[in-house]
Amino acid sequence: MKHLRTAAVILAVAALFWIANRGAYKGYFSADDLNNLFWTSHSTPLDHLKGLVSPWYSNSNYRPTGHFIFQIMGHTFGLNFPPYVWLIQLLHLLNVFLLWRVLLRLGAEPRAAAFAALAWSFHMALFDAFWKPMFVFDLLVCLFSLLTLLLYTSRYWLAALLTFWLAYKSKEMAVALPAFLALYELWSGHPRWRRLAPFAAIAIWFTAQALIWGQNSYALVFSPQAIWQTIRFYSSEILFLPYAGLLLIPAFFLTRDNLVRLGIAGAVILVGPLWFLPGRLFSVYLYLPTAALAIVLAFVSQKRRTWVLLAALALWIPANYMIMRDKRKATLAAAEVVKPYVEAAGHFHQSNPAVLHIVSESRPVQLESWGVEAAFQWFYRSPQFKISHADLPEGKALLLEPNLAIANWKPFERQLLMTVRDPAAPFPTHFAFGDGAPIWALREGFLWSGGRFWWTGTKAAAVLHRPPDARFFEVTINVSPRQLAYQGSVQFEAVIDGQPLGVHRFTTNGWLTHRWTLPPDQNHRGQDRGGRDRQGAGSSTARAHNPVPIEIRFPVPYRPKGHHGSPLGAPIVAFGFVE
């Protein structure tokens, strides 16, 4: 009967959790998810096994346990999102069960242990862990850490050493677990330091490597400002109120219960190296530390009446559900943008499998640049395929390639517009920024802005086709009142094939156009003097296209307030030859 009652409680908790979080199945992959899925598709189980047993610190944040899961899930389910949510939510519920077992092992009453584990399961600081596959690493480090505690406190310390290794290989914050075990030994009344020694040795070994060789985005920062930034963030996220977590400090000194002290200290210690990573602040990183805080809740709740615990849950769970509604809204809103982008990338690949180069001109704000790259790389798995962004040197270099497509995201229509370059077609005669613009005609000096105009530096170059009957060259600039107030006027000149056309000055704001009369075309001999069309400078196609180099210069540089880069020219809307 006892086992049936336990099973019924577990099923009830799982059902309640699923009802509250069923909206997660309508979500979609993040940029990190897509990146993990893409690169692990090229790995093998043997690669992950080597990483798992390696004693060396990974400077690339390689985590074998989680990345192996991405490889298996990607191979099995591809970009079908719901199975990934099933996995992470099952892992979360498994962690709830393990936490309950840990609390019982530490001596908590069954009611108090169940109350603390259930309260932890609905903590909305952990929301991303059971909504976003990218945080499977936090689920795994908690799972293996809880297993380590169960085994260690049951005196199976050799097995605990193995699960501790798996915890570290799931996420580096597990390096703080031996410090938590040391406090357990200290307050147990019968400390046995010898069995703790190998745990401490592993932690010291990896910590030393991280301090010496950790030079990536996870490089630790030990300045007072950095530490205060992380303290301010995590102390405010742990109880949803500004700095509320700092109340744990006086609570630690006021309590006489060593297990309560263990939970409070554990919540601080298990944040581990994250205290020194001000550039990586996410509330979900509290997944493991809040599990330690559940120890506090369990032992504070000892011998409380059942109705008191139920009343506390009746307040806690709805309060967290209200917080979850805002988080759910933002997550699902991002999914409604990212999913059509990725699906459109797949449709484009189906109809254009031979495209080898893609330049992203604009992307959804909800999808980081590495997510855009991974989305296309997932479909284009050729080693010759390359993708970059128009504002990067790599992207500008790809613009010179003939086998090219431009990816332009239209946010209002939620549509991905792909413009494929025809290598046999001439360069444009007139260039206008906007949807489908042939930005492969651009060279150095144009600063990626997206939209209907791009900013430039003091010089901006391009390549256009000059028709034999072209009589004028014109440039349209978006002159802002702010720039006019700063400069008094906007001066610029056009240079066609090395021939200056003269300086013009705008003294009013707006989208303004100036047109120069062209001199006779002295270079209409068919030589490729502007940009190489990848068909040979002397080919018949290049001679027919007559590409010429264009340069727009701004003699007076613009340095707006707050701009710390190179001086600017002006935002250009369009330029080109007209009859």
pLDDT digits (tens, 9 = 90+) for 324-348: 989 999 999 999 999 999 999 999 9
**Closest-CA residue to 459 (of 479, 439, 437, 444):** 444
Tell whether 461 is covered by a domain: yes
- Mean pLDDT rounded to a whole number for the chain: 89
Tell whether 312 is covered by a domain: no
Per-residue confidence (pLDDT) for residue 522, from 0 to 100: 54
Q: How confident is the model at residue 19 (pLDDT cuts 50, 70, 90)?
A: confident
Angle CA 491–566–511, to nearest 5: 35
Strands 415-420 and 446-447: unpaired
Other beta carbons within 10 angstroms of residue 187's beta carbon come to 14
Per-residue confidence (pLDDT) for residue 222, from 0 to 100: 86
End-to-end CA distance of the chain: 92
Tell whether 43 is covered by a domain: yes
Output the pTM of the full model.
0.87
Q: How confident is the model at residue 217 (pLDDT cuts 50, 70, 90)?
A: low
Mean pLDDT of 125-130: 94
Residue 543 confidence (pLDDT) above 70: no
Per-residue confidence (pLDDT) for residue 358, from 0 to 100: 96
Mean pLDDT of 347-374: 94
Q: How far apart are CA 379 and CA 398, in angstroms?
A: 19
- Domain boundary (273, 304, 335) is at 304
Per-residue confidence (pLDDT) for residue 215, from 0 to 100: 64
Of the ranges 222-231, 238-247, 538-547, which one carries the lowest mean pLDDT score? 538-547
Other beta carbons within 10 angstroms of residue 488's beta carbon come to 11
Residue 385 confidence (pLDDT) above 90: yes
Q: How far apart are CA 543 and CA 541, in angstroms?
A: 5
My answer on whether 300 and 169 are in the same domain is: yes
> What CA–CA distances, in Å, run from 261 to 247, 292, 300?
13, 10, 11
Domain that holds residue 37: 2-304
Tell whether 314 is covered by a domain: no
In SS3 terms, 335-351 reads as HHHHHHHHHHHHHHHHH
Tell whether 362 is covered by a domain: no
Tell whether 363 is covered by a domain: no
The secondary structure of 69-101 as a DSSP string is HHHHHHHHHTT--HHHHHHHHHHHHHHHHHHHH
Mean pLDDT of 373-394: 92
Mean pLDDT of 61-80: 95
Q: Write the CATH number for 487.
A: 2.60.120.260
Tell whether 177 is covered by a domain: yes
Other beta carbons within 10 angstroms of residue 257's beta carbon come to 13
Per-residue confidence (pLDDT) for residue 531, from 0 to 100: 44
Q: pLDDT, tens digit, for every residue of 473-523?
A: 999 999 999 999 999 999 999 999 999 999 999 999 999 999 999 988 654
Residue 539 confidence (pLDDT) above 60: no
Per-residue confidence (pLDDT) for residue 534, from 0 to 100: 41
Mean pLDDT of 257-267: 94
Residue 1 confidence (pLDDT) above 80: no
Mean pLDDT of 187-192: 84
Q: How confident is the model at residue 18 (pLDDT cuts 50, 70, 90)?
A: confident
- Domain boundary (288, 304, 320) is at 304
- Domain boundary (284, 304, 324) is at 304
Per-residue confidence (pLDDT) for residue 535, from 0 to 100: 39
Number of compact structural domains in the chain? 2
Per-residue confidence (pLDDT) for residue 233, from 0 to 100: 95
Tell whether 132 is covered by a domain: yes
Judge whether 263 and 296 are in contact, CB under 8 Å: yes
Per-residue confidence (pLDDT) for residue 459, from 0 to 100: 95
